[in-house]
Amino acid sequence: MKLTIHNVSAQDSGEYSCEVIGGATTRAKLEIKEPIHKFTKALKDSEADEKGSVTLQCTTEQIPSTVVWLKGHTELKAGGRYEMSQKDGVLTLTIKQLEENDTDIYTCDVGTAKSMAKVTVKALPTTFIEKLKNQEKKEGESVTLRCELSKPAAVVQWKKDSEILKPGEKYDMKQAEGSCILQILNLKIEDSGAYTCVCGDEKTSAALKVTALPPNFTQKLESQQAEEGADISLCCELSKAGVPVEWKKGTQVLKSGEKYQMKQKASMNELVIKKVVPEDSGDYSCVCGDQKTTASLSIKAKPVTFKLKLESLEAEEGGSVTLRCELSKAGVPVEWKKGTQVLKSGERYQMKQKASVNELVIEKVVPEDSGDYSCVCGDQKTTASLSIK
pLDDT at 37: 81
Q: Report pLDDT digits (tens) over 39-64.
A: 999 999 999 999 999 999 999 988 88
The confidence band for 210, taking pLDDT boundaries of 50, 70 and 90, is very high
Domain ranges of the chain: 128-211, 217-300, 306-388
pLDDT over 90 at 3, yes or no: no
pLDDT over 80 at 69, yes or no: yes
Separation CA 118–CA 42 (nearest Å): 12
306-388 has which fold? Immunoglobulin-like (2.60.40)
Q: Report pLDDT digits (tens) over 95-128.
A: 999 999 999 999 999 988 999 999 999 988 889 9
Do 217-300 and 306-388 share a fold?
Answer: yes
What class, spelled out in words, does domain 217-300 have in CATH? Answer: mainly beta
Q: Report pLDDT digits (tens) over 221-253.
A: 999 999 999 999 999 999 988 899 999 999 999
Percent of the chain with pLDDT over 70: 98
Q: Report pLDDT digits (tens) over 273-286.
A: 999 999 999 999 99
pLDDT at 111: 86
Separation CA 226–CA 228 (nearest Å): 7
- How many other CB atoms are found less than 10 A from the CB of residue 109? 16
If you average pLDDT over residues 155-162, what whole number do you get? 95
128-211 has which fold? Immunoglobulin-like (2.60.40)
Separation CA 164–CA 171 (nearest Å): 11
If you average pLDDT over residues 156-174, what whole number do you get? 95
If you average pLDDT over residues 133-141, what whole number do you get? 95
If you average pLDDT over residues 309-335, what whole number do you get? 94
